[in-house]
Amino acid sequence: MKLELGKIKINDIQFSDKTYVENHILYVNKEEVEKLVLEDDKLIGCSLDIARPGEKTRITPVKDVIEPRVKVSGGEMFPGVIGKVSPTVGSGRTHALDGCCVITVGRIVGFQEGVIDMSGPAAEYCPFSGTVNLCVVIEPKEGLETHVYEKAGRMAGLKVAAFLGETARNLEPDTLEVFETKPIFEQAAMYPDLPKIGYVHMLQSQGLLHDTYYYGVDAKQFVPTFMYPTEIMDGAIVSGNCVAPCDKVTTYHHFHNPVIEDCYKHHGKDINFMGVILTNENVFLADKERHSDMVAKLAEWMQLDGVLITEEGYGNPDTDLMMNCRKVERKGVKVVLITDEFPGKDGKSQSLADTCEEATALASCGQGNATLQFPVMDKIIGTMEYIESQIGGWAGCVNEDGSFEAEIQIIIASTIANGFNKLAARGY
């Protein structure tokens, strides 16, 4: 598959009487977007706000973050969710509004929704403090079940991102990048002297608001499969979960998976990037065993020399991570794990809930139990009323002036376990 990704740089968002892009500014008609969101009768309120880098603004509770994009050719955006399933994405041409995001915000769905600060100490831990953000604040009907509310919020964000992405359809990109992975035997033959490297991409799929969608299918419903990396970069996977904010792989992060992007940077130079083995994270032991067996079988079939493995979340998924590691290694394929750690505030507890003797190479994305002081902000988009019950917070952590102390795991993507962050750890 060959994907052309054109990026149109956005430096600011402003409200206007129509929606368009000009001189690197995204102009948005508020009424149009609010009307689009409220087409869903499960939502009774919608308001828009803009959060810019450096402002004393806090956004919470955050549900998802999405980069506005449009498929110029080769399928439709968010296939199986908004767009048509066929043809698959990952080829043709896509235009992205680079430097801006759609962020869905509103009354909490589950305690695992997080915070984005646009300035101050917490801003250093979150990539979205550096983007210009259109915040879509939603209000659900009373009495909705949590999974129904989650879906309404998820669809609202995707619809707005697709709507804004249309402004880029006929624009000339500032940059145009090309990514290609050929069918497996052709790909192997291209660089016969380079090590064949794959990526085992574990999706959150434990249910109860821990879901991810693959071409519109709940990830817990599929077995491990092969994916072209460009499919993931092009919207085949969307987030639909409320895992710990620090670990949450937003839809934006699926577009910009750092493992995939870095493997492409090294492709043809010091590695032959063969593709992605997509798998999920299971609740029951039999499913964990079955799926890790299949991951190892695919790695062997692809004749890989090495793989990188990432997870989403922590605790229970650590077992899936270690099962994949052990079984792939036993097939003669070298494994490097990428994950974050949770050793407690004092750093003295076991960092991962599971381990195995084959886990000899691990890149840490930092530890989420470290605490941070969050200062008072001039503006709150959403509400602060849930901070003490959000993961990372605790009863009494909020001061009268609105400042608070919390573990950094309350920050969206602060220790995200695919490496899209600034933290690491050094072993001794």
161/66 Cα distance (integer angstroms)? 6
Edge-first strand listing for the sheet containing 175-180? 69-73, 92-98, 2-9, 175-180
Assigned token pair, 398: 């909020």
**What digits encode the pLDDT tens for the residues 3-18?**
999 999 999 999 999 9
Tell me how far apart the alpha carbons of residues 333 and 225 are, in angstroms, rounded to a whole number: 18
Closest alpha carbon to 258 in 96, 95, 98, 416: 416
pTM above 0.85, yes or no: yes
pLDDT per residue over 18-41, tens digit each? 999 999 999 999 999 999 999 999
Q: Kindly state the percentage of the chain with pLDDT values over 70.
A: 99
Residue 123 pLDDT grade (very low, low, confident, very high; cuts 50, 70, 90): very high
pLDDT in tens, 346-375: 887 888 888 999 999 999 999 999 999 999
pLDDT tens string 274-307: 999 999 999 999 999 999 999 999 999 999 999 9
Q: What are the φ and ψ backbone dihedral angles of 199, each rounded to 5 degrees?
A: -130, 120
Residue with the larger pLDDT of the pair 57 and 240: 57
Whether the Cβ atoms of residue 353 and residue 411 lie closer than 8 Å to each other? no
Read off the pLDDT of each residue in 163-170 and give the average, rounded to a whole number. Answer: 98
DSSP per residue over 174-188, as a string?
SEEEEEE---HHHHH
> Shortest CA distance to 288 belongs to which of 307, 311, 304?
311
Residues known to be catalytic: 242
In 3D space, the residue among 108, 135, 111, 138 whose CA is nearest the CA of residue 46 turns out to be 138
Each residue's pLDDT tens digit, 51-75? 999 999 999 999 999 999 999 999 9
- Distance CA(321)–CA(314), nearest Å, equals 10
**What's the one-letter identity of residue 95?**
H
Return the closest-CA partner of residue 59 out of 376, 378, 382.
382
Please state the φ and ψ torsions of residue 345, each to the nearest 5 degrees: -60, -30
Rg of the chain (C-alpha set)? 21
Q: What is the pLDDT of residue 205?
A: 92
Inter-helix orientation angle 30-37/146-165, to 10°: 140
| Helical residues (DSSP H) of 222-308, grouped into ranges | 229-233, 251-255, 258-266, 285-301
Domain extents in the chain? 2-410
Closest CA to 260 of 127, 416, 419: 419
pLDDT over 90 (residue 188): yes
User: Are the C-beta atoms of 373 and 403 separated by less than 8 Å?
Assistant: yes
Q: Where does the pLDDT of residue 110 fall: very low under 50, low under 70, confident under 90, or very high at 90 and above? A: confident
